[in-house]
Amino acid sequence: MTQTARPPHSETASRTAGRGLAARVHLGRLFTPPSTEFVMIASTATLLTLFGLVMIFSATSANPTSPFDEALKQGLFALIGIPLMLLVSRLPVAFFGKIAWPALIGATALQLLIFVPGLRVSSDGNTNWIKIAGFQMQPSEFLKLALVLWIAFVLLRKQARLGIWHHVFIPVVPVSLLVIATVIGGNDLGTAMVLVLAVLGCLFFSGVKLRLFILPLLVGIVGVLFYALSSDNRMKRILSALNPESCDITDECYQPAHGVWGMANGGIFGVGLGNSQEKYGWLPAAANDYIFAIVGEELGLIGCLLVLALFGIFTVGAFHIIRKTNDPFIRVATGGIVVWIIGQALINIGVVLRVFPVMGVPLPFMSQGGTALLSVLMACGVLLAFARTMPAPGQAAAGRSSADRTPRGRGKVAR
């Protein structure tokens, strides 16, 4: 009989030590502290979502028939959206490039359902909702994230040729215009403007020369103005923002006027959480587009500044990713997402303050709307996945200290 040779004791010990070292490495990765950018984005997104739930609960509590139904429904979407955000944050960066084309095609196909009779739902002339099996959703919200990831992927492939105008415009500009046209077909000017901002944000952070960036900017402005001026209703809303004194507060200026009155009634400290008067039928979109007015009335200037501070921290975290990364895909996608979210927030707050005409744009994280909340939390998950590529504070400090301890002559080839 032949005997099987056993490895020497030293070899067995080295293998065991190797397995132990691998286990320690995996445990070390598990307990590695997250980067500063990860903490800033994750904490502000969660706090704004929870803050929004509280304000939606307060704004809908005046409903005599079902005071808690809308808040519970929004809470269910938050319970789905926050874990989904953390799940997306665990995905590798390469995954988002691989799904860029399928995501854009799928989101556009879903958006085209608004033109199918029996599925589309209209509200004040806006038909950008669909209802399937009793579930209502707004497909254009998912178009925002899909379009940003697609543009980042396409511009990454053309990184070395972004100085040539046709490589910048094709296929980014034609495809973006087609996608935005599907939203305009549903008479949703606000979402179309947010999509234009996202496209311009991607182009800006891709490093495109300014002379090539100006033309898409002008095309976007002209397109928005042409669409806005082609409707009497939209013209009235624009003129009401430019000249509030001549606006009829019983018609087109009814909701903007009550939004400003609610903000003024709140003063510095507010009338107290749950004590809003405007939510009792005076402000029809109290839980939706005018949730910031309820914040100002109930929590006053302090509450409004708190919301602005959270959005500011979110912006700083996103711009840290843009500044630190060397990956063009991460930089362009992060730029598009942050311009989309912060631009939409500024438009919403500007509408409440009567700086802008009414556009029907929700406040990210806080306004009532399940698909809008899921979309923005998924976008935050993408940002968190990017933030995982950033070094943690301890790792960065350790890297600098080890570099300082390295002798200057080490690593040179002896002659």
Q: Over 60: is that where the pLDDT of 28 sits?
A: no
* pLDDT at residue 185, as a whole number: 87
395 or 390, higher pLDDT: 390
pTM of the model: 0.85
CA distance 349 to 360: 11
Nearest to 354 by CA among 244, 239, 224: 244
Q: Over 50: is that where the pLDDT of 270 sits?
A: yes
* pLDDT at residue 239, as a whole number: 65
Q: Over 90: is that where the pLDDT of 337 sits?
A: yes
CB contact at 8 A, 150 and 103: yes
Strand partners, 129: 121
Counting the structural domains of the chain, the total is: 1
Q: How far is CA 168 from the centre of its chain?
A: 24
CA distance 200 to 194: 10
Q: Can you give the residue range of the structural domain that contains 40?
A: 35-389
* pLDDT at residue 411, as a whole number: 42
Q: Over 80: is that where the pLDDT of 269 sits?
A: yes
Please indicate, yes or no, if residue 364 is contained in any of the structural domains. yes
The pLDDT tens digits of the residues spanning 85-131 come to: 999 999 999 999 999 999 999 999 999 999 988 888 887 667 888 98
Mean pLDDT across the chain: 83
* pLDDT at residue 6, as a whole number: 52
The pLDDT tens digits of the residues spanning 362-382 come to: 999 999 999 999 999 999 999
Give the whole-number percent of the chain exceeding pLDDT 70. Answer: 78
HSE, side-chain direction, 13 A CA sphere, residue 179: 32
Output DSSP code: residue 388: T
Cis preceding-peptide flag for 171 (omega within 30 of 0): yes
Please indicate, yes or no, if residue 271 is contained in any of the structural domains. yes
The pLDDT tens digits of the residues spanning 183-214 come to: 988 888 889 989 999 999 998 998 887 777 77
Please indicate, yes or no, if residue 19 is contained in any of the structural domains. no
Please indicate, yes or no, if residue 146 is contained in any of the structural domains. yes
Confidence band of 68 (pLDDT split at 50, 70, 90): confident
Confidence band of 22 (pLDDT split at 50, 70, 90): very low
* pLDDT at residue 246, as a whole number: 62
* pLDDT at residue 413, as a whole number: 39
3-state secondary structure 335-358: HHHHHHHHHHHHHHHHHHCCCCCC
Q: Over 50: is that where the pLDDT of 1 sits?
A: no
CA distance 336 to 149: 8
Q: Pull the structure tokens for residue 395.
A: 């790792």
**Which phi-psi region, left, alpha or beta, contains residue 325 (left: φ > 0; alpha: ψ -120 to 50)?**
beta
Q: Pull the structure tokens for residue 21.
A: 């070292």
Please indicate, yes or no, if residue 17 is contained in any of the structural domains. no
CA distance 335 to 155: 13
Q: How far is CA 156 from the centre of its chain?
A: 21
Question: What would the mean pLDDT of 393-406 be, rounded to a whole number?
Answer: 50
How far CA 235 is from CA of 94, 208, 254, 369, in Å, comes to: 45, 34, 16, 27
CB contact at 8 A, 386 and 338: no
CB contact at 8 A, 235 and 324: no
Please indicate, yes or no, if residue 156 is contained in any of the structural domains. yes
Please indicate, yes or no, if residue 2 is contained in any of the structural domains. no
CA distance 156 to 327: 9
Please indicate, yes or no, if residue 123 is contained in any of the structural domains. yes
* pLDDT at residue 263, as a whole number: 92
